[in-house]
Amino acid sequence: MSLASLPLQTGMDAIVTGVNLVWVLTVTFLIFFMHAGFAMLEAGQVRSKNVANQLTKNLLTWSVGVIVFFLVGAAVSTIVGGLTGGGGVSITEAFMAIYAPDAASVTAWTDWLFGAVFAMTAATIVSGAVAGRAKLRAYISYTILLAAVIYPVVVGFTWAGGFLGAMGFHDFAGGMIVHGMGGLAGLTAAWIIGPRMDRFNADGSVNVIPGHSLSFAVLGTLILAFGWYGFNVGTAAAPLALNDAGEVTLGSFAYVGRVALVTTLGMAAGAIGAAAVAMQKTGKVDTLYVANGLLAGLVGITSIADAIVWPGAIVVGLLAGAQLPIVFGFIEKRLHIDDVCAVFPVHGSAGILGALMFPFFATSFWNGSASFVSLAIPQVVGVAVIALWTFGATYVVFRGIQATGELRVSAEHEREGLDTSEHGVDTYPEFGKPEPVTDGSGVPVDGTVRTDGGKDE
Amino acid sequence: MSLASLPLQTGMDAIVTGVNLVWVLTVTFLIFFMHAGFAMLEAGQVRSKNVANQLTKNLLTWSVGVIVFFLVGAAVSTIVGGLTGGGGVSITEAFMAIYAPDAASVTAWTDWLFGAVFAMTAATIVSGAVAGRAKLRAYISYTILLAAVIYPVVVGFTWAGGFLGAMGFHDFAGGMIVHGMGGLAGLTAAWIIGPRMDRFNADGSVNVIPGHSLSFAVLGTLILAFGWYGFNVGTAAAPLALNDAGEVTLGSFAYVGRVALVTTLGMAAGAIGAAAVAMQKTGKVDTLYVANGLLAGLVGITSIADAIVWPGAIVVGLLAGAQLPIVFGFIEKRLHIDDVCAVFPVHGSAGILGALMFPFFATSFWNGSASFVSLAIPQVVGVAVIALWTFGATYVVFRGIQATGELRVSAEHEREGLDTSEHGVDTYPEFGKPEPVTDGSGVPVDGTVRTDGGKDE
Amino acid sequence: MSLASLPLQTGMDAIVTGVNLVWVLTVTFLIFFMHAGFAMLEAGQVRSKNVANQLTKNLLTWSVGVIVFFLVGAAVSTIVGGLTGGGGVSITEAFMAIYAPDAASVTAWTDWLFGAVFAMTAATIVSGAVAGRAKLRAYISYTILLAAVIYPVVVGFTWAGGFLGAMGFHDFAGGMIVHGMGGLAGLTAAWIIGPRMDRFNADGSVNVIPGHSLSFAVLGTLILAFGWYGFNVGTAAAPLALNDAGEVTLGSFAYVGRVALVTTLGMAAGAIGAAAVAMQKTGKVDTLYVANGLLAGLVGITSIADAIVWPGAIVVGLLAGAQLPIVFGFIEKRLHIDDVCAVFPVHGSAGILGALMFPFFATSFWNGSASFVSLAIPQVVGVAVIALWTFGATYVVFRGIQATGELRVSAEHEREGLDTSEHGVDTYPEFGKPEPVTDGSGVPVDGTVRTDGGKDE
């Protein structure tokens, strides 16, 4: 389009569009910034020999993923939504709506970018689960498929008008669609690729491999919380709308204050819930549990932040935080899955929890005439479908890559660290990094890998 | 309230409310992000053995504090404002205005959150003063009381319509109410709890215990400056208002450019002022003084950013920065108080300075008919009342906790670090951290704790 | 001005001004936050013994620079624009427009601050090129001249209506004016001051001196990308305007979605382009190349983000990323210039590339009637003039400082690190930092300075 084709909105139309653009762009930038949060949170939780690998994966998740989501993923959402929701769908139109939107649509690409930052959040969660042993090219291959198909199908089923959306599945800002999906994908991937060496012993006991910097982990947590306000509060609809009479109205933005409040209380209660459980178990307040509990509280409230009042937000936050140490212990000690950055307890189980809480907390005011069962069924079905799809698709892709022998680095490379083998760099060339020493039984005896003295039991 | 009770503002009302909500939410998110700044600033200034403790305190200050401020603190502000300002006050109404605001009020909870991020800023300042020796439960107990009562009383006296507000005490964005209060509380707490071991010698000489990472300290400084734009410029009223004729007006937002300008010049001059004094004393430009000077400049300008023109902002910034090394040296060398993160020089004395500068810089244009004395008296009274209340309340609480023996960790725990004793973690398990070695006289002889060669004298 | 002189805009005027102020302030804060990004990016790329020096320079670049730009630089832009563009110019009026704008102008100082954060971005780029050996006072002296004259002259020639602007030179958001200028100044400065000791050997071979923390470098990269959305998208005009009929219109903000899209694709393609070239050269994906490639993609798209459609953005991003390792290798291996933080490949050559791409990508839709040549000539002339001015002015200033003997620290101070000699601090007093050991031939033999095994050839 040339400048001459500039859509010349005037009057109230222009005011509504202008104000809404200011809002959606601001919150989109905040959500983008969550990538810095994930980069720091994950980098802090890995060994110093794998930090550059984790950082590079975060940079490339965004860089590769957002282009793939533009070229393929966004249109796939529309197509899947149309195919499964009973609406008509034209593949050509779906792609052209992204590539060359109607010149009169001044919000097409800002809407796309708002969707893209959600998609990339789902994508980046996975890297934390497979840290320290996945080959870069394997991880990027999965990211491409996630951005092109796996995540877009979930959006197609739900927000884009597919069958889950049509039957009433409720997910306000992606607690299940984005975080639950990402957490489930991470858990599946971590299971298939297997644990890091020395993580579990032959007798079934567990070693703790502490991350190299709690400072970066907590910095990442607070950056994520900052961006999450964009995630949740930004989803609270456009500030202004036009009603049928052509008047400007606030629309559902009138509820934005409640969304901001319950998001705040949910994260706060999540930190407290995790701290309390950790305290009860070990007598100490584990910093990482507090940080991850805050994030779990945010995940838990995300799908229902439009449908819950504040006492419920505190309850959901406490539950989401409290389940974190318990679920993490179960995955580690019973399933022997090495979910390095606890992405399933933080994003997966907390996302599922939030989605299933909807009928409990929404009935009284969300839709007075709806029964508990009529609200609960779509939630249960939705969680099950998203979980099965995510598990199945991730399983197929990771098993496929595994069959080529390209999924996991060699034991030698894992031992020396992926920074060296995959990137040829040393993240901290000036700081001492003692290598773990094993006592011959496979159990490291130095301070960097600790045998867990039943801490979470 | 159900969806059916959605407040249906239309027309100019909706535009004003929508634009104002976009603004207040954006700046509230920025102010929230200051917690990441405080976390990094404080973590960088403590020993590596106490980093996780500092980070955990920051996470829990927000998480515990914001819930307490919601449940108790906000209403206490209203009640104290009503009781001391001569207005009528209903305790029930004060709480219900927070818990269940009128459905027609779409801004009640956004206004609450805007106030809450100010409250939590005051709360988090204290942790930097008592770093490295306060028990976690003691600190959290104080935080609960600060969020429930101590800070809300200050707001009640002033912004919420109490007697200081009624007599004309001026504090634009909380230079005294938030920062001055936080800095005074920190100084009081640091005095009561006593210095870290090895900080002062028996002969009265001083050891410097350097923080573990200037990188984190400067990162925190710049995050704080970013958030401070929300703090100061965000306070410059709502962008739009309706006048008596029902027309949209800019209101006092017309001055927002001046607020942004003087905030910018104040912080810049603060860094220069501190750098110049440090240079004059030691011949070198101490990085931490520059960073803290920038923050002191911001504190100094905060209470008067609506009432000062740019030459005054440069003067106030220079003074706020220049007083920092001097006040810090006085506290350290004369009072022998161990204010670890220099929270009193940065937040306390700079906040007091700014509040007292008001009559000097405001008379010529703020209120042409007011005399210097009529502007000065409320400022002096306000500073005195806030200082006395903050000192008194903090004194009582900390002495009370001290009496239970739960204020300070044991010498053994202090020596090994609070990360181990309070949290069971090691912030940097892979990086070497030489322990200080003392020569028997209590004076450490290794590089981590330095005897100060009269640097600040 | 007193409160009584408050400009009382009402009605549509007030709405347009209020919304535009919300936008310009939000994006200005984002651009300011880029200083945290530069601080981290540069700190991560220097040795641990020079970190505090780099951080201090960043703090003082902003603090000193923004005051100088307020007092002198902004007016110099106007004056140079008037003098070289044929417009009338009054020196007094130029200064008074900054110092005491018309009381009716509520946007004068917000517009100034928006310009100031661009100016300070240009200024701060230089410090990365001369890291590890420039004296603090020499660097600050140059910063003062850059903020007062060197950068303002470039703005005068272009955006402020000077001869380059008049002949049609196009630079949307400063890809050439801000970044190209900063990168060229950095390269010139690095050339004059000479390489760090041990960087190049007598036989012409090259040693790599790795930075101390890739974590900080990548954090800085992502903070910069976040701020860059403000930089580019924020430049996409004011959200609302009034047309001749007095109606509110969107104006060129209707294109904001395209600007956001191409900025996103440009940065993503930049990271991929750099990663691909690095992979092709060494078989590994160098983390720093990916990070700097993302930034180069942003620089490349910045000057043409209003004039390019998305396939072009991907092409320009790939080119800007791909040129990075090549140009860096040329500067290092052929010119033997020690551009520590790769500021020329990231900001300089990528900025020039973007400016020269304009006629290739803009002709088809930007201005249907303009020929390629008529669009290309102003770009070539503009790049040449800005490059010559920047090189010449920087050359004169640095040679002048060099003549006084105050440009570079002594070899002894360089070896012990500038943190000690210039600031009297140790950034990481608790972490081990092995000093490089040389084998007598000037070639360090320890791990911190590596002989480059032809990595970039």
All residues at 6 or more sequence positions from A117 whose CB lies less than 8 Å from its CB, including other chains: A28, A31, A32, A34
Pairs of residues, one from chain A and one from chain B, whose beta carbons lie less than 8 Å apart: 205
Residues 69-108 of B with CB under 8 A from A: 70, 99, 106-108
The terminus-to-terminus CA distance of chain A in angstroms comes to 63
Burial class, A111, CB count within 10 angstroms (exposed 0-12 / middle 13-18 / buried 19+): middle
Closest residue on chain C to B254 (Cα): C106
Nearest-Cα distance to chain B for A167, in Å, is: 20
Residue in C138, C113, C133 with CA at minimum distance from that of residue C60: C138
Q: What share of chain C is helix, strand, coil (3-state, %, to 5)?
A: 65, 5, 30
- Cβ neighbours of B231 in C, within 8 Å: none
Write the residue in A33, A106, A213 that is nearest to C254 by C-beta: A106
Interface contact C46, partner A, CB < 8 A = no
How far, in Å, CA of A145 to CA of A151, rounded? 9
Average of pLDDT values for C33-55?
98
Asked whether the beta carbons of A382 and A171 are under 8 A apart, the reply is yes
Q: Around Cβ A396, how many Cβ atoms within 10 Å?
A: 12
Q: Does A63 touch chain B (CB under 8 A)?
A: no
What are the structure tokens assigned to B303, written together?
């209470």
Cα pseudo-dihedral A259, A265, A267, A268, rounded to 10: 160
pTM: 0.95
Instruction: Tell whether C56 is within 8 A of chain B (Cβ).
Output: yes
Residue A172 touches chain C, beta carbons under 8 Å: no
Inter-chain contact C212–A110, Cβ cutoff 8 Å?
A: no
Q: Please say if the pLDDT value at position B103 is more than 80.
A: no
- Least confident among A93-107, A189-203, B46-60, C222-236: A93-107
Q: For residue C62, list chain B residues with Cβ-Cβ distance below 8 A.
A: 268, 271
pLDDT in tens, A413-426: 999 999 999 999 99
Q: Do A240 and B426 touch (CB under 8 A)?
A: no
- Mean pLDDT, consecutive 10-residue stretches, chain A (457 aa), reads 57 93 97 98 97 98 98 97 87 94 87 97 97 97 98 98 96 97 98 96 93 98 98 88 90 88 98 96 94 98 94 97 97 97 98 96 65 93 98 98 97 96 93 51 46 44
CB atoms C215 and A43 under 8 Å: yes
- Report the share of chain C in percent with pLDDT over 90: 83
Task: List chain B domain ranges.
Answer: 12-239+246-406
pLDDT bucket at C380, cuts 50 / 70 / 90: very high
The pLDDT score that the predictor gives to residue A433 is 56
Does C429 sit within 8 Å of B212, measured CB to CB? yes
- Tokens describing residue C296: 């180069």
Nearest residue of chain B to residue A450 (CA atoms)? B429
How many A-C residue pairs are in contact by the CB < 8 A criterion? Answer: 207
Interhelix angle C136-145/C372-403, nearest 10 degrees: 140
CB–CB of A56 and C287 under 8 A? yes
Q: Given this model, what pLDDT does residue B140 score? A: 98
Chain-chain contact of C26 with A26 (C-beta, under 8 angstroms): yes
The whole-number average pLDDT for the span C197-225 is: 96
Q: Using CA atoms, how far apart are residues A326 and A342, in angstroms rounded to an integer?
A: 11
How high does pLDDT run on average in chain C? 91
Kindly list the residues from chain B whose CB atom is less than 8 angstroms away from the CB atom of residue A215: 40, 43, 51, 55, 213, 216, 427-428
A-chain residues near B3 (CB < 8 A):
366-367
Name the amino acid, one letter, at C124. Answer: T
**Max Cα distance, chain C (Å):** 79
Residue A157 and residue A84 in contact, taking contact as beta carbons nearer than 8 Å: yes
Burial (CB count within 10 angstroms: exposed 0-12, middle 13-18, buried 19+), residue B213: buried
Is pLDDT of B413 > 70?
A: yes
Yes or no: say if C213 and C46 are a contact pair by the CB < 8 Å rule.
no
Q: What is the pLDDT of residue B30?
A: 98
Q: Is C365 on the interface with A (CB under 8 A)?
A: yes
- pLDDT (average), residues C63-83: 97
How many beta-carbon contacts under 8 Å exist across B and C?
A: 207
Q: CB of B233 within 8 A of CB of B54?
A: no
Among the listed ranges A87-96, B122-131, B315-324, B376-385, which one has the minimum average pLDDT value? A87-96
| Contact yes or no for B6 and A222 at CB 8 A | no
Contact state of B423 with A286 under an 8 Å Cβ cutoff:
yes
Residue among B18, B110, B216 whose CB faces A19 most closely: B18
Sign of CA dihedral C305, C306, C307, C313: positive
Cβ burial of B420 (10 Å; 0-12, 13-18, 19+) is middle
CA distance B12 to B248: 7
| A280 at B interface, C-beta within 8 A | no
Q: What is the pLDDT of residue B86?
A: 80
Task: Give the mean model confidence (pLDDT) for residues C151-168.
Answer: 97
Residue C436 above 80 pLDDT? no
pLDDT in tens, C80-136: 999 999 877 899 999 999 999 987 788 999 999 999 999 999 999 999 999 999 999
Which long-range contacts does A204-208 make (Cβ < 8 Å, 24+ apart)? A204/A336, A205/A451, A205/A452, A206/A332, A206/A333, A206/A451, A206/A452, A207/A443, A207/A444, A207/A449, A207/A450, A207/A451, A207/A452, A208/A449, A208/A450, A208/A451, A208/A452, A208/A455
- Note whether C51 contacts A: Cβ–Cβ < 8 A: no
Q: Is residue B174 a contact partner of residue B389, using CB atoms and an 8 Å limit? A: no
Cβ of C425 within 8 Å of Cβ of B288? The answer is: yes
Q: Is B26 on the interface with A (CB under 8 A)?
A: yes
| CB contact residues (below 8 A), chain B span 138-157, against chain A | none
- Distance between CA atoms of residues C355 and C301, nearest Å: 9
Q: Which of B9, B10, B23, B25 to mutate to test the interface with A (most CBs of A within 10 A)?
A: B25
Do residues C229 and C299 make contact, with C-beta atoms less than 8 angstroms apart? Answer: no
pLDDT of residue B443: 43
Closest to A266 measured CA to CA, from A217, A233, A238: A233
Which has the closest alpha carbon to A218: A59, A47, A344, A44?
A44
Q: Which amino acid is at C134?
A: A
Residue A391 forms contact with B (CB below 8 Å): no
Per CB-CB distance under 8 Å, the chain A contacts of C268 are 62-64, 66-67
Q: C130: part of which helix (H) or strand (E)?
A: none
**DSSP secondary-structure letter at A247?**
-
Asked if C274 and C255 touch (Cβ cutoff 8 Å), the reply is no
- CATH fold of the domain at A12-239+246-406: Ammonium transporter fold (1.10.3430)
The reported pLDDT for the residue numbered C254 is: 80
Element (H, E) at A241: strand A241-242
List b or e across A14-26, with b for residues whose CB sees 16 or more CB atoms inside 10 angstroms. bbbbbbbbbbbbb
Q: Among B397, B348, B341, which Cα is nearest to B140's?
A: B397
Which residues, at least 6 apart from A384, have a Cβ–Cβ distance to it below 8 Å? none
Chain B: closest CA distance from residue A49 (Å): 10
Are B113 and A288 a contacting pair at CB < 8 A? no
CB contacts of A270 in chain B (<8 Å) are 63
Q: Which amino acid appears at position B266 of this protein? A: G
Contact of B58 with B42, CB cutoff 8 Å: yes
Residues within 8 A of B (CB atoms), C 200-219 only: 213, 216, 219
CA distance C131 to chain B (A): 16
- DSSP notation for B97-108: HHHS--TT-SSH
C14 contacts on B by Cβ (under 8 Å): 240, 247-250
* pLDDT given for residue A127 in this prediction: 97
Question: Nearest residue of A to residue C240 by CA position?
Answer: A18
Smallest Cβ–Cβ distance between C271 and the set A10, A59, A99 belongs to A59
- Shortest CB distance from B272 goes to which of C33, C40, C63? C63
- The answer to whether A22 contacts C213, with C-beta atoms less than 8 Å apart, is no
Of B186 and A105, the one with more pLDDT: B186
Mean pLDDT for the stretch of residues B115-143: 97
Which residue stretches of A130-180 are H helix?
136-145, 151-157, 163-166
C20 touches chain B (CB under 8 A): no
> What whole-number distance in Å separates Cα of residue C348 and Cα of residue C324?
10
User: From CA A393, how far away is CA B310, in angstroms rounded?
Assistant: 61
Nearest in space to A240 (alpha carbons), one of A6, A3, A11: A11
Q: What residues 394-453 of chain C have any CB closer than 8 A to a CB of chain B? A: 419, 422-432
Residue C366 has pLDDT above 70, yes or no: no
A124 touches chain C (CB under 8 A): no
Q: For residue C164, which of C355, C353, C397 has the smallest C-alpha distance?
A: C355
DSSP alpha helix (H) spans, B194-255: 214-233
DSSP C199-229: SB-TTS-BEE---S-HHHHHHHHHHHHHHHH
At A292 the pLDDT is: 98
Kindly list the partner chains of chain B, i.e. chains with 3 or more CB atom pairs below 8 Å.
A, C
Q: Which residue of B has its CA nearest to C31?
A: B226
- Encode pLDDT of B348-359 as tens digits: 999 999 999 999
Distance from C-alpha of C37 to C-alpha of C215, rounded to nearest angstrom? 12
How high is the pLDDT of residue B185?
Answer: 98
